[in-house]
Structure 1
Amino acid sequence: MSETTSTTRGAAEPDYDKLLRANLERVFNERDADKRATALAELFVEEPVMYEPTEVVHGRQAISTVAGNLLDQFGPTFRFTPVGRAVGHHGLGSLTWQAGPEGGPVAVTGTDVAEIMDGRIVRLWVLLNPPAA
């Protein structure tokens, strides 16, 4: 560490892995809208924003709608699965994932990047990897 670099100890870091895995499992893999709404209330701030490649989504209800529509679109066995552990520091975390039918081929891969404040997701960026050639 150089003389001009210092460290600051602030609030404890959130458990990035637990939070981002819960987002995949309890929001984006949850087919029951009421359970998904409960998870969103626990995991996200009151007015979160989600940035997808094609749109910006505002609010818990809108995020729930996106998640439900994805699950409906891709069928009853479609699931998001984490790849490795989430990493993060200073309120920014990321988790790599893959998705497809359970037991089937991987249809899409990507990374969720989240801004986290007081243990809850404030903003979520969904980054999709280009299809394999």
Structure 2
Amino acid sequence: MSTGEPDYDRLLRSNLERVFNERNAARRTAAVAELSGADPVMFESANVVRGQSAIVDAAGQLLAQFGADFAFVPIGHAVGHHGLARLSWQAGPRTGPVAVTGTDVAEIVDSRIARLWVLLNPTA
């Protein structure tokens, strides 16, 4: 039985892998175009990023800042309903240690990310 809900896990995992782990700008651009609405907004703790190209650039800058071995890894499965979903993740060098953990919370409209809140967990 179909609930009419999008596949929240696939969508948020794809966003993490194909946007925030993708170092190739052309592939990152294609992923944002596929996964996001026409005018997405990403809310970070100190910044608001508006539009597909700005999100592509912000992800690229983040990857450049942390180096080639840095990656985001999902923790568990994304859950959601009625257009709201969340996915927890951790990030750091692929061989460890974990540098940061957080959660992406997304508003989903027409099976695409309309708004994304990036929530960082406090460090110990």
Count of paired positions: 122
Q: 1:66 is matched with which residue?
A: 58
SS of equivalent to 1:67: helix
SS of equivalent to 1:28: coil
Please state how far the C-alpha of 1:104 moved relative to its aligned partner: 1.4
Q: 1:4 is matched with which residue?
A: none
Q: Deviations over 1:54-82 (max 9, x none)?
A: 01110011111110011000000100000
Q: 2:37 is matched with which residue?
A: 45
Q: Deviations over 1:103-129 (max 9, x none)?
A: 110000000000001110000000000
User: Identity of counterpart residues, as a percentage?
Assistant: 66
- In 2, Cα distance between equivalents of 1:118 and 1:47: 13
- In 1, Cα distance between equivalents of 2:110 and 2:38: 12
- In 1, Cα distance between equivalents of 2:53 and 2:70: 21
SS of equivalent to 1:76: coil
1:35-114 equivalent positions in 2, closer than 5 A: 35-114=27-106
Higher strand share: 2
- In 1, Cα distance between equivalents of 2:109 and 2:39: 12
- In 2, Cα distance between equivalents of 1:70 and 1:41: 19
1:19-38 equivalent positions in 2, closer than 5 A: 19-38=11-30
Runs of 4+ in 1 over 4 A off after TM superposition: none
Q: Which amino acid aligns with 1:38?
A: A
Unaligned runs of 5+ in 1: 1-10
Answer with 1 or 2: which has the greater Rg: 1
Give TM-score, length-normalised by structure 2.
Answer: 0.97
Q: 2:110 is matched with which residue?
A: 118
RMSD between aligned residues? 0.7
Q: Which amino acid aligns with 1:18?
A: R
Q: Which amino acid aligns with 2:36?
A: F
